[in-house]
Structure 1
Amino acid sequence: MNFPFFIAKRYLFSKKSHNAINVISAISVCGVALATLAMVCTLSVFNGFQDMVATFFTAFDPQIKITSVKGKVFDGSTPVFSEIKTMPEIAVYSESVEDNAMVQYKGRQVMAVIKGVEDNFDKLTPIDSILFGRGELILHDEVVDYAIPGLQLLSTLGTGIRFLDPLEIYAPKRGSRINMSNPMSSFVSDQLFSSGLTFTVNQEKYDASYIITSIGFARRLFQYTDEVSAVNLRLTPEADEDAVIRKLQEKLGDEFRIQNRYEQQADTFRIMEIEKLISYIFLVFILMIACFNVIGSLSMLIIDKKNDVQTLRNLGASDNQIVRIFLFEGRMISFIGAVSGVIIGLVLCLIQQEYGIISLGNAGSFIVDAYPVSVHTWDVVLVFVTVLIVGFISVWYPVRYLSRRLL
């Protein structure tokens, strides 16, 4: 066995001449363990919120979305898109048209995004999971077109879920200037009737401004023919998403943008990643403060073991071996604290996942009652490695400095 490691292990677990040194060593281990536990739990909670938000977007956004790099719309009837439609990896192919329009209801006006979708939209995404009301999922019939507005938009307009009068929709005519003497002649107007349904994904971006309707209505309103704002795809279960995206990019070239669900909400997830990174940095600073306890414990141990050091020297131990004894001591404290913190942190995360002990408070005010938790293996590895690196570095210089001064 390594001689310095053997002596360091004896020093760590044996009783010291002064009981205070044992207490400080235990406090040092607990300090590192608590900092490690906090890092594991905090990062797991951030992961839980991120996974939860991703489930909401999944119900509204397609698995893969193809949009034009230049301009709002593009021609969806070209041969390349016909070829994409027949790809074996594509389970659902659906086009959509969306743009801004003004919505009016009984004198109340609001700007909204009209999203026209095809009839197979319910096969593209699990839209049923975010719909509320007593109507049927129908976008149009032979006579009229129907609207499925966001819940906050209904509140702004004051319509209620099942409104009696139709929504008046106004959009400017393409390529024409506003006639100041008769402004209404510069707009295309149409009506949307109540479907008895509304949707909510608990994101203001959607709930406060989106109206889902038929793609035919959107094309009439915005004066399009075969143009589409996006081509939306759902893949077969066995398809490799990354491989399909690469194949699509090769077919379409640089003129089109191909995004998965996370890329469609890049801003939201980027903010969450930044918040997670900042929390991680703050927790590393807390960990560094906890490591000062380790330095204090080692300095008292060095003073306590002066006579032992002289004995070891008489037995032939070199100064380098003696310094390594105390380095191993500090590293073992960091290692034991890291292992203990990771284990306890994982146990607490498991308990929170199963029982939701720590609640968000004000039941019913939040989407979930308790803090969501999702443990990611790489986060646990990152925490463990961080604790070891910070712990090892924090004891290296103090041990060498104290060894020169006190021994």
Structure 2
Amino acid sequence: MNLPFFIARRYLLSKRKKNFINVISMLSMVGVAFITAALVIVLSVFNGLEDLLRSLNNSFDPEIKIEATQGKSFHATPAMLRKVAAVPGVKVVTEVIEDYAYVRYHDANQIVTLKGVSENFIEHGRIPAENITQGKLRLKERNIPYAMLGQGIANTLTVDASNTAFPIQVYYIKNVKGGTTDPSRMYARLNILPGGVFSIIQNIDESYMLVPLDFAQELLSYGDKRTSLEIKTVAGSDIQKVKLGLANVLGESFRVLNQEEQHKDLYSLLKFEKLFTFLAFSLLLGVGSINIFFSLMMLALDKKKDISILAAMGGNQYLIRNIFLAEGALIAFIGALSGLVIGGVICWLQQYFGMVSMGMETSITQGYPVKMDWTDFTATLAVMSVLTIIISYRPAILAARFGSPQQL
């Protein structure tokens, strides 16, 4: 039997009439429980938001994207495309030309991100049928080019995809020499019919307009230049191995990015926000644990007589110190474990029943997304362990001194 733990448990769970020290101890446990539960819930919400963003972005982003390390475009020669397609694990190579353009439809207009893609883009399966809100997924039919618009652009322009009698006018500002007075030489203009409207995520819906590669090539005068290549891998392939294979073939002049790296800044920001939230709540947890310090100090003074008797019976200073360290650990860990259970139950209810709504009719998901991660629970317990040792050490040393020969 662990004697320090046994005595500490007796002090904490004594059936006698509760005194002020017991009340402070109980309040300390309650405070630690609520702060721990709040920390677990907030971290789980961050995990849920990150997962939601990944799923939405990954539905539109390619599995692997190839970009030039310098400049925004590069020459995509047939030899280069053959080398890329020959890398083991590569199934589809889609050529992309992406730039800003100005579009008009009836009396409405908007700046869009024009993305010209080769016809095999549809083979990627990145715009499922359930995400098509108007028309159908098409870029070319009977040699007629069609545009796929994000829902936000379609709303701004009031586009009717079923009306093929009225085209979308697309303008691109050229780089012209100073002194040019003819306005028609300052821009290129082409017309294209609306083929369909898709809805994925707000920032994509409000900016992207997909068009056939040859349409973008003619409008932007890119020739054999491309802004990127998008890769679909063979099912079951190791993305990291395919990425390394492409990097070896292409050399240092190109960046080969997986889906995580395509939004590196966004995911890094989320991780930093989660880290600083964890640190802030850890500080709050430390403040909430100060009551443990005061309750142990008062307990050491209250049990001075008991400590003297224990010392007279042969108990050394290490035993007395360990009793009060165990007392602090009991208070802290009962509170922390209760908080973890409460937080876990609340997250589970939110995950399966969506108790707390996003509060927006147009939101992608009705309830706040949550995802429990065992590392969050482990990190919370680790922080609580460190805080418990720091907070309990001084009262334990004081109690040990009461049992020293000089105090007897």
Q: What is the TM-score of this pair, normalised by structure 1?
A: 0.91
Does 2:355 align with 1:366?
A: no
> How far 1:403 sits from its partner (Å)?
5.8
**Match status 1:109 vs 2:109:** yes
Q: What 5-or-longer segments of structure 2 have no aligned partner? A: none
Task: Give the Cα separation in 1 of the matches to 2:383 and 2:368.
Answer: 25
Taking the aligned partners of 2:205 and 2:399, their CA distance within structure 1 comes to 62
CA distance in 1, matches of 2:65, 2:133: 28
How big is each residue's C-alpha offset from its partner over 1:118-143, in whole Å with a ceiling of 9 and x where there is no partner? Answer: 22223324312563334221102344
For the Cα contact (< 8 Å) 2:357–2:367, is it kept in 1? yes
User: In the alignment, is residue 133 of structure 1 matched against residue 133 of structure 2?
Assistant: yes
Match of 1:294 in 2: 292
Distance change (3 Å), C-alpha of 1:78 and 1:24: same
CA positional deviation for 1:292: 1.4
Identify the residue that residue 203 of structure 1 maps to in structure 2.
Answer: 202
- Decide which moves more: 51-60 or 20-29: 20-29
SS in 2 for 1:104: strand
Q: Aligned to 2:139, what secondary structure does the other structure show?
A: coil
- Pick the aligned partner of 1:264 from 259, 262, 266: 262
Task: Name the CA distance, whole Å, in 2 between partners of 1:150 and 1:391.
Answer: 53
Structure 2 CA distance for aligned equivalents of residues 298 and 311 of structure 1: 19
- Shifted more, 8-17 versus 251-260: the winner is 8-17
Judged with a 3 Å threshold, the aligned counterparts in structure 2 of structure 1 residues 287 and 82 are, in CA distance, closer, same or farther, namely same
Which residue pairs with 1:165 in the alignment? 166
Match of 1:180 in 2: 180
Counterpart of 1:100 in structure 2 is 100
CA deviations 1:263-308 (Å, max 9, x no partner) are 2122322232232222212211221122012122212322221221
Q: Percent identity at matched positions?
A: 33
For 2:379, give the aligned amino acid. Answer: L
Encode CA deviations 1:315-338: one digit per residue, 9 max, x unaligned: 122223212211121022222222
How is 1:70-85 mapped onto 2 (pairs within 5 angstroms)? 70-85=70-85
- Whole-Å Cα distance in 1 between the matches of residues 199 and 398 of structure 2? 62
Question: Which amino acid in the other structure matches residue 169 of structure 1?
Answer: V
Cα 1:140/1:178, change in 2 over 3 Å: farther
Note the residue ranges of structure 1 that are not aligned, 5 or more in a row.
none
Aligned-residue CA RMSD (Å): 2.4
Q: Deviations over 1:27-81 (max 9, x none)?
A: 2222222222111111111111111111111121111111111122212235344
Structure 1 pair 285–212 and aligned structure 2 pair: CA distance change class (3 A)? same
1:120 aligned counterpart, secondary structure: helix
Aligned residues: 403
**Partner of 1:38 in structure 2?**
38
Per the TM alignment, residue 156 of structure 1 is displaced from its structure 2 partner at its CA by 2.7
Q: 1:94, 1:231 within 8 Å by CA — same for their partners in 2?
A: yes
- 1:254 deviates by 1.8
- Aligned match of 1:222: 220
User: 1:17–1:304: 8 Å Cα contact kept in structure 2?
Assistant: no
Residues 177 and 186, structure 1, Cα contact 8 Å, conserved in 2: no
Q: Deviations over 1:168-227 (max 9, x none)?
A: 1122346x42663202123221111111x21222333x2222111111111111112332
Counterpart position of 1:354:
352
Partner Cα distance (2:80, 2:402) in 1: 77
Distance 2:85 2:16 in 1: 76
CA distance in 1, matches of 2:391, 2:160: 62
Q: Give the SS at the match of 1:127.
A: coil
